[in-house]
Amino acid sequence: MRSKMMGCREEHQSTHGSVLGGKPNHCVIYPPKSSIVAEELERRNNDWFVRTKVASDLMVQVGDFSFYLHKLAMVSKSGYLNRLVFAKRSEGHGQNGGNLKIVLDDLPGGTNTFESIVNFCYGFKVDVTATTIAPLYCAANFLEMSDDLHQGNLISKTEAFLSFAIFSSWKDTFKVLKSCESVSPWSKDLLIVKQCSDAIAWKASTDPKAFTLGQNSNGNLNIGESSDTWWFQDVSTLRIDHFIQVIESIKRKGVKPELVGSCIAHWTAKWFSSTTFVFDDPTIPKHLTEKLQRITIESLINMLPVEKNSVSCNFLLYLVKLGLKMQVNFELLSKLETRIASMLEQCCAQDLLVKNYGDKDTTYDVGIVIRVVNAYVLLAMKNSRARLCIVGRLIDGYLTLIARDINLKLIDFKLLVDALPTNARSCDNNLYRAIDMYLKAHPSLMEEERASVCKAMEYHRLSEDARQHAMRNSRLPLKIVTEFMLLEQVKMARSISATKSNINPRTTTQTIMKMNNKKCLEKGFIAPQKEIMLIRKEVENMKMQLNQLQMCKLKLQKQVQRSCIK
């Protein structure tokens, strides 16, 4: 029925579409009878001629090709050509027997499409597929080939097959959309891009099992075995402007934000490779390429779903990296960094790993993590200590993953160590482990540089095993080792004193003095000589202990110095 209405024959698959493979939908358009009888359209180099008994009186130039045609055949079906011919004749062109010349520089689809239009105007059948239908439809509208001029004109015939191709087959929908790239902005103004985007969104939001897309003999995808992401691969082939349209349509269809976010990440991974961008094209001026890349990244950031946990922290960090590289809008980048900062408490250390690819760069981009942590500190000023400690453990874990990188600069490592406030760490074991790994990977650091790295590490926040390891660690600066040894001796001295007596000597002396004073007041005379001597002895004991500690400190410093010299 539809074929009769269109005046064309359609050959198509019985299925809704194919993710991979399959014959494309095909249509043969049979035009109305032409007013000029022609045998065929033939090409001679860059010239096209219509073989007919009537001499041509119209020459249409499209690009580098010239078509020698007849006004009657062309203007009877094209309102645009009709006006041009009338205007040219009013100006006196073509009145001396020569061909009237018309130049069509802006015709959508160019020479190939105009060849099909000429065939249609002369009554020859026109073969169209999903790849050629959009340019032909745009060109028909450009030339104003409506039914007002001739019943069954090209606009109505192409429009019918276009709708069929878009909604009948998944793969053909993408072929139509890809062909729209060469006929922008006509394809956008004629809503072809919107129709394709809506069709893709409808199919993507539908259970894929509804499509009878089994695996064929070539090993094509069996949609019944696919997951919710079965449509990612095809959508990732789209150009950025068409991709934006598709994502907007998918959002309107109510697809889960997590799937939308994953699709955007999939597209980004395909178009922005590890070393170069797909946009890199030697034929395009560098400044235009960079502008396209910047606009693309800004568009990706703007289209991100706003729902919580809809996009991974790692992908957002990658967008920050791309944004910094291409110098995107500052406010947009700050907003993105703030979003990542609000996610840090739910992240793991591996989420922060974003690779670099330069020979002299660090393996992972540390700079973007520093930026995000600084943004977190601004946000988390009123956060509880427990929440701060979660991020503290995250950063210490991240430091252990990057510490062995020989290209990691001291200033970057130190900036990350010092980025969080002091109360963000309840235990320094992971921090000590990261520092030790960094010092081992960078043996050429000066004593002062090693000391500056260790400054954030505190003795009382290390476990007993970590303290013992630190005091035997030759990589740590002398000052830190000496300090830890002294603190360990003080701890041991206190432990010994506590073992001998559960009462502090000072407390004992104070108690004795209070008792003696009470007796003196009661009896009305000075304390006996024996009790005074006891008080003096306690004071002397305290002085001796202090002297021993001082001597111990000096001996430890000398021992450490000798071991370093050896």
- Please give the Cα distance from 303 to 250 (Å, whole number): 12
The domain total for the chain is: 2
How do residues 171-190 score in pLDDT, each as one tens digit? 999 999 999 999 989 999 99
170: containing domain: 26-190
Structure token pair of residue 172: 């053909």
Q: What is the CATH number of the domain that holds 176?
A: 3.30.710.10
Q: Which residue has the higher pLDDT, 269 or 533?
A: 269
Least confident of 51-55, 83-87, 102-106: 51-55
CB neighbours of residue 242 within 10 Å? 23
Q: For residue 465, tell me if it sits in a domain.
A: yes
Half-sphere exposure (CA, 13 Å, Cβ side) for 262? Answer: 12
3-state secondary structure 20-89: CCCCCCEEEECCCCCCCCCCEEEEECCEEEEECCCCCCEEEEECCEEEEECHHHHHCCCHHHHHHHHHHH
- Please give the Cα distance from 297 to 354 (Å, whole number): 17
Close Cβ partners of 13 (under 8 Å, ≥ 6 residues apart): 22, 23, 25, 169
Q: For residue 528, tell me if it sits in a domain.
A: no
End of a domain among 499, 525, 545?
A: 499
Backbone torsions φ then ψ of 367, nearest 5 degrees = -60, -40
Q: For residue 46, tell me if it sits in a domain.
A: yes
Q: Are 371 and 321 in contact (CB under 8 A)?
A: no
Q: For residue 144, tell me if it sits in a domain.
A: yes
- Please give the Cα distance from 24 to 13 (Å, whole number): 8
Q: For residue 340, tell me if it sits in a domain.
A: no
Q: What is the CA radius of gyration of the chain?
A: 41
Average pLDDT over every residue of 501-516 = 50
Backbone torsions φ then ψ of 102, nearest 5 degrees = -130, 135
Mean pLDDT for all residues in the chain: 82
Q: What is the pLDDT of residue 529?
A: 54
- Please give the Cα distance from 542 to 537 (Å, whole number): 9
What's the DSSP call for residue 462?
A: S
Q: For residue 105, tell me if it sits in a domain.
A: yes
Q: For residue 554, tell me if it sits in a domain.
A: no
How do residues 235-288 score in pLDDT, each as one tens digit? 999 999 999 999 999 999 999 999 999 999 999 999 987 545 555 555 556 667
- Please give the Cα distance from 551 to 502 (Å, whole number): 26
End of a domain among 175, 190, 205?
A: 190
Q: Which residue has the higher pLDDT, 394 or 493?
A: 394
Please say whether the dihedral angle defined by the alpha carbons of residues 414, 415, 417 and 423, taken in this order, is positive or negative.
positive
Q: What is the pLDDT of residue 335?
A: 95
Burial class from Cβ neighbours inside 10 Å (0-12, 13-18, 19+) for residue 245 reads buried
End of a domain among 437, 465, 499?
A: 499
CB neighbours of residue 415 within 10 Å? 16
Q: For residue 552, tell me if it sits in a domain.
A: no
Q: Which residue has the higher pLDDT, 202 or 541?
A: 202
